Amino acid sequence: MTDPIRVHLVAGGFPAGQHAGHDMDYARLRLLGLLQANENVHTTVSGDFTDCDKWLADCRLLVTYVAGPYANDEQTAIIEAWLAGGGRWVALHGSCGGKAVRTDRADRQRRWVKEQYHHTLGGFFLMHPPIREMRVSVEDSTHPLMDGLPETFTIRDEPYMVEILDPESTRVLLTTKDIDAPASAAEIYGSDTSLLPDGESRALGFIREVGRGAVAYFAPGHTHSPLTNVQTRVHESVSEDRLPPKTFRGVWETDVYAKILDNAVRWGTSEAA
């Protein structure tokens, strides 16, 4: 009998037990179903990074889908050491977020705080404009995470603006040019640090090595239900009246996202470096 591969899934919102504007039940069940399809995988689940040392001790793959929870400095050090020892981390959607603080702006927009956690992940969330349609380009078709994907494809999702924190150690996998950054990005952060060197593109997916391990991040993945929706408007490319749908599944209902997730599990549970 083959020894089981341990995977740990962190899926939850903030404060503890809250949905934070996402259908956590849907995302959690979809990810668990994907993992269960691999007969060699045994999965444990938590809602945040509490006791991550216990969960990662004999774990090969960490999968995170969170909106608010992030690892504090002590927990981040544990994750980084685990990665350096060969662990792999697949971080999805809000995993690049964390703590936000108030600004003195009249529109009450908040500023997200960059922590050591983000440096380990390799990406830092600035903000996202309303849900819209985006054309996505595959930048590195040779990587196993991009196996079987078309060169370009279209999705509907929150257009995440994510700063790449360690470009030299990061391979950008997915990009889009279809993000209209609000002026507030530069006003709040000093500059729009999510722009890539070409001045047009932003990363929607990347991978970076950490010691003998690696972390892969994919920005798409928003989903909400009537119970969990906090969206007030969407881009006209999604709805002419700009009213958000009561239920939104976005990329979760596409073949291309299913392929990305399948590739991610195969990559994360494989023995090869």
Read off the pLDDT of residues 141-160 as tens digits, 9 standing for 90 and up: 999 999 999 999 999 999 99
Angle between helices 255-269 and 24-36 (to 10 degrees): 60
Least confident interval from 44-53, 145-154, 160-169, 264-273: 264-273
C-alpha distances in Å from residue 72, one per residue of 77, 88, 120:
9, 19, 11
Q: What percent of the chain has pLDDT over 70?
A: 99
C-alpha distances in Å from residue 16, one per residue of 44, 67, 241:
18, 10, 34
In 3D space, the residue among 14, 5, 129 whose CA is nearest the CA of residue 60 turns out to be: 5
Would you say residue 273 has pLDDT above 50?
no
CA distance 187 to 191: 7
Segments forming the whole domain that contains residue 9: 5-269
Query: How many domains are there within the chain?
Result: 1
pTM over 0.85: yes
Are 249 and 93 in contact by the 8 Å Cβ rule? The answer is: no
Alpha carbons within 13 A on the beta-carbon side of 234: 24
Would you say residue 1 has pLDDT above 80?
no
**CATH at 197:** 3.40.50.880
In 3D space, the residue among 180, 171, 177, 181 whose CA is nearest the CA of residue 205 turns out to be: 171
At 150, list the tokens.
């078309």
Read off the pLDDT of residues 175-223 as tens digits, 9 standing for 90 and up: 999 999 998 898 999 999 999 999 999 999 999 999 999 999 999 999 9
